[in-house]
Amino acid sequence: MISKAIRLARVGSGTELAAALLVGLGYPGVMLAAILPNVWVFVPALLVTYAADRYLHHCGSYLINRLAAVRAGLSIRFLVRQLLLILLLSRMGYGDEPLFYVTVAGLLAFYALQVPQSAMVTLIRLRRKLPVVTRNVDLADIAIADAPPQRLMSRPAEKMLHLDLFAMVGVLVAVITDRDVFAYVGLALTLAGALAYLAMLLPYLRPSRLAPSDAKVLAAVDDWLRAYRPTVILYFSGSRDSAYQVNMWLETVGKLEGRPLIFLRERAILSQLGTTSVPVLCVPGGVHLMNLDLSSVRVALYAANVGKNIHMLRVPTMKHVFIGHGDSDKLASVNPYSKVYDEVWTAGRAGRDRYALADVGVRDDDIVEVGRPQLAGIRTGSGSLAHPIPTVLYAPTWEGWDDNPGNTSLLLAGENIVRTLLNSEEPVRLLYKPHPFTGTRSAQAGAAHRRIVAMIEEATLRRASDPRWVREAAALQGERAAAGAELSRIGARLAELADGGGTGGDEAERARDSVADVAGEAETVRLRDEWNAAYWRSTGWWEHQVITAPEVRLYDCFNESDAMVSDISSVVSDFIASGKPYAVTDSAALGAEEFKRQNTAVRAAVILSNEAGELAELLAAVTDPAADTLAEARRELKDYLLGPDEPTSMEQFNAAAQALAAKAEARNVGVAQRLGADQDLAVPDREAASSGAGTGESEALAEADAAADPDAVGVPGAETAETKGTSAAH
């Protein structure tokens, strides 16, 4: 019952639910106490509202945002408490007393002081916002002052409003003791605290404490670009929740030859970006982007098809490549938008054939097979169980943008899949890792997800009381405790590394102080591997788990599992790299043969109906190698979907980038020569006219065409070509 209430209220725990109930009951209690009037009921009810409200803010409860949406935001809740205090005074006969008028005047003055405080905080934040936010970029040439202390800028409204506690306590003590002086002291302390807050903010409004002008910052970034001369950029735009799409490419881009640069468009993405020593530019404004000096860039890589891509696609001096954020048989993998790119890079032959079958205008000559460098960490299955009982990963994709029943198995098959695995005659451990977007568009998908979570939690509780698993838990108690301690230690070090050694500040200060830390990045990668290893040791190999935390990586779930159940998505293609048995749900009820015909990645899968009765075949393949009739098909499909093992995917990816950079350089040289020839022809020259200018133009164009052939040019770039190419772009 409690867990159901938690889900309905969209809170994270029973404590949070209790705090929400206390807020809901506390305010009517305060009002009732004021009307009665009864100061001894008023005081505890008032304290309950303060404490519960503070707790909800501290844990970042979803309910706080909902209260603001229904006109019951933070300021209103504080104002209501103050009005109820005035009501209490009136009902207790203080309406004609000096205490009443002084309290009203004091609280009004306090409310008035909140206006300049809010304005000052807003102005400081706006004036310290840089037009371009950076990471691992040296901006030492511009003076960026230290950020105001976090104690002033973090939750400023909440800090200011809580100063009314002095006044509230003072007035209530005055009522109880019948000594007005306590009220006057409390009100004075509240007003003095508010004035002190304003005084502490004032120095940070000086021009020297604000950020440099946009022109200075942009000029400094251009100077850095001319010094660094990036050759390849990873471009990304998207919502905060889509950060995983760019994070999956960070390690690959960091290993590219040349001088890579990560180019973002949203500030929210920068805060979610993973650890990297590659320079990062976040340029929210399209006009600012168009005026940056990107003349040295030869290749731009795009991880998603989004509208803001056009701001970079307009630059002709670089070649543009769609690399996507996964390889699957979804319609998104053959988006007609892909025609705008110079090349589309796919993992293996399957991606090429997918575009040919879709016939969306992407030419076969523009498709390059580069493998999937991110899959290097996926271990190939040994054919035997990792633990005494099989572990099955259920990783459904999200509901998508339309209501196609084939988008996700959650709606029609999810509960059947989970129920079958949880109630299997032979014990099975279930890992449930839903897509991060689950429930964002479809309420039905969100409800199905919550029901599945409830089923798994209930099964976990039953297993925890089963004597067999109780004995296993007791045997591993010491090891699990040690792993838990290791998790805490590693987590603390990772947090320290992510925070730059403990420095805080706002985005301007972080941009100023951020430097490329190759050693720190290597340590972070190592610690994350150690954290995941410790995480699995800290859990029982028999315990079901719901995995939503991003720290528990999908590929580590692959390595922990003996088999997987999923939908048509890149998760399936990636899991095939492990060679382990897998099942895919035919949620649209196409039938096994038609489902395989339409979706390459399921050709070596156990095909599940929405009833999920075929899971017995998957479990048999996991527990008995002789029953695994699809093993050879999986090996063949792996090569078709993901490309050959040699050369490595990273080598293929790097070679493709170098080849495309050569094409971009050749194109720029050719354009420069053409422009040079046109300028020569525009100058009147009698000798040239008498000797035949047409011949000279033909020769220039012939040289330009030769330069455009990547096999006929040495790549090191000429300054003239880059400068003129950029002029054409702008």
**SS3 annotation, 309-337:** HHHHHCCCCCEEEECCCCCCCCHHHHCHH
As a whole number, mean pLDDT of residues 323-340 equals 81
pLDDT at position 400 is 86
559, 610, 607, 556: which is closest to 582 by C-alpha?
607
pLDDT at position 679 is 63
Q: Is 395 helix (H, G, I), strand (E, B) or coil?
A: strand
Looking at 220-224, 502-506, 698-702, which range is the least confident one?
698-702
- Domain boundary pick from 374, 394, 410: 374
Q: Is residue 140 part of a domain?
A: no
Q: Do 92 and 124 belong together in one domain? A: yes
Q: Is pLDDT at 580 greater than 60 in this prediction?
A: yes
Q: Is 724 helix (H, G, I), strand (E, B) or coil?
A: helix
- 140 Cβ contact partners less than 8 Å away, ≥ 6 residues apart: none
Q: Where does the pLDDT of residue 723 fall: very low under 50, low under 70, confident under 90, or very high at 90 and above?
A: very low
pLDDT tens, 301-331? 999 999 999 999 999 999 999 999 877 666 7
Q: Is pLDDT at 586 greater than 90 in this prediction?
A: yes
Domain count within the chain:
5
Q: Is pLDDT at 1 greater than 60 in this prediction?
A: no
Q: How far apart are the first and last CA of the chain?
A: 63
Q: Is pLDDT at 216 greater than 70 in this prediction?
A: yes
- Domain boundary pick from 374, 389, 418: 374
Average confidence score pLDDT of the chain: 87
Answer yes or no: are the C-beta atoms of 592 and 611 closer than 8 Å.
no
Q: Is residue 135 part of a domain?
A: no
Q: Do 448 and 565 belong together in one domain? A: yes
pLDDT at position 690 is 37
Q: Do 529 and 655 belong together in one domain? A: no
Instruction: Pick the more confident residue, 166 or 725.
Output: 166
CATH of the domain at 636: 3.40.50
Residue 75, amino acid: S
CATH of the domain at 279: 3.40.50.11720
Q: Do 337 and 301 belong together in one domain? A: yes
Q: How far is 702 from 269, CA to CA, in rounded Å?
A: 46
Q: Do 408 and 457 belong together in one domain? A: yes
Q: Where does the pLDDT of residue 3 fall: very low under 50, low under 70, confident under 90, or very high at 90 and above?
A: low
| Proportion of the chain above pLDDT 70, given as a percent | 89
Q: Is pLDDT at 510 greater than 90 in this prediction?
A: no
Q: Do 360 and 340 belong together in one domain? A: yes
pLDDT at position 12 is 57
Answer yes or no: are the C-beta atoms of 312 and 333 closer than 8 Å.
no
Q: Is residue 625 part of a domain?
A: yes
Q: Is residue 134 part of a domain?
A: no
Q: Is pLDDT at 45 greater than 60 in this prediction?
A: yes
Structure tokens at 259: 């001088």
pTM for this one? Answer: 0.75
pLDDT at position 11 is 57
Q: Is pLDDT at 555 greater than 60 in this prediction?
A: yes
Structure tokens at 314: 């307009």
Residue 260, strand partner residues: 232
Q: Is residue 138 part of a domain?
A: no
As a whole number, mean pLDDT of residues 634-640 equals 93
Q: Where does the pLDDT of residue 280 fall: very low under 50, low under 70, confident under 90, or very high at 90 and above?
A: very high
Answer yes or no: are the C-beta atoms of 394 and 356 closer than 8 Å.
no
pLDDT tens, 134-150? 999 988 778 888 889 98
- Domain boundary pick from 322, 347, 374: 374
pLDDT at position 722 is 36
Q: Is pLDDT at 501 greater than 50 in this prediction?
A: no
Looking at 49-63, 646-660, 688-702, which range is the least confident one?
688-702
Q: Is pLDDT at 403 greater than 90 in this prediction?
A: no
| Proportion of the chain above pLDDT 90, given as a percent | 62
Q: Pairing mode, if any, of strands 319-322 and 260-264?
A: unpaired
Instruction: Pick the more confident residue, 724 or 548.
Output: 548
Q: Where does the pLDDT of residue 686 fall: very low under 50, low under 70, confident under 90, or very high at 90 and above?
A: very low
Q: Is pLDDT at 84 greater than 80 in this prediction?
A: yes
As a whole number, mean pLDDT of residues 179-190 equals 97
As a whole number, mean pLDDT of residues 97-109 equals 96
Q: Do 290 and 368 belong together in one domain? A: yes
47, 71, 54, 73: which is closest to 16 by C-alpha?
54
Q: What are phi and psi of 585, to 5 degrees?
A: -90, 130
Q: Do 638 and 670 belong together in one domain? A: no
pLDDT at position 700 is 37
Looking at 26-35, 299-308, 321-330, 689-698, which range is the least confident one?
689-698
pLDDT at position 719 is 38
Residue 393 structural domain: 377-471+549-642
pLDDT tens, 409-443? 999 999 999 999 999 999 999 999 999 889 888 88
Give the Å distances, CA to CA, from 709 to 695, 717, 728: 22, 15, 20
The helix (H) or strand (E) run that includes residue 86 is helix 74-91
pLDDT at position 36 is 94
Q: Do 720 and 667 belong together in one domain? A: yes
Secondary structure tally for the chain: helices H, strands E: 32, 14
Q: Do 585 and 611 belong together in one domain? A: yes
Answer yes or no: are the C-beta atoms of 83 and 91 closer than 8 Å.
no
pLDDT tens, 460-487? 999 999 999 999 989 999 999 999 999 9
Q: Do 654 and 525 belong together in one domain? A: no
Looking at 47-56, 255-264, 653-662, 703-712, which range is the least confident one?
703-712
Q: Pairing mode, if any, of strands 343-346 and 367-369?
A: parallel
Q: Is residue 133 part of a domain?
A: no
Total count of residues recorded for the chain: 730
DSSP string, 328-372: -SSGGGG-GGGGGSSEEEESSHHHHHHHHHHTSS--GGGEEE---
- 564 Cβ contact partners less than 8 Å away, ≥ 6 residues apart: 392, 393, 394, 395, 558, 571, 572, 575, 580, 582, 583
Q: Do 68 and 22 belong together in one domain? A: yes
Q: Is residue 554 part of a domain?
A: yes
pLDDT at position 721 is 35
pLDDT at position 682 is 52
Q: Is residue 145 part of a domain?
A: no
Q: How far is 504 from 491, CA to CA, in rounded Å?
A: 18
Looking at 140-144, 213-217, 720-724, which range is the least confident one?
720-724
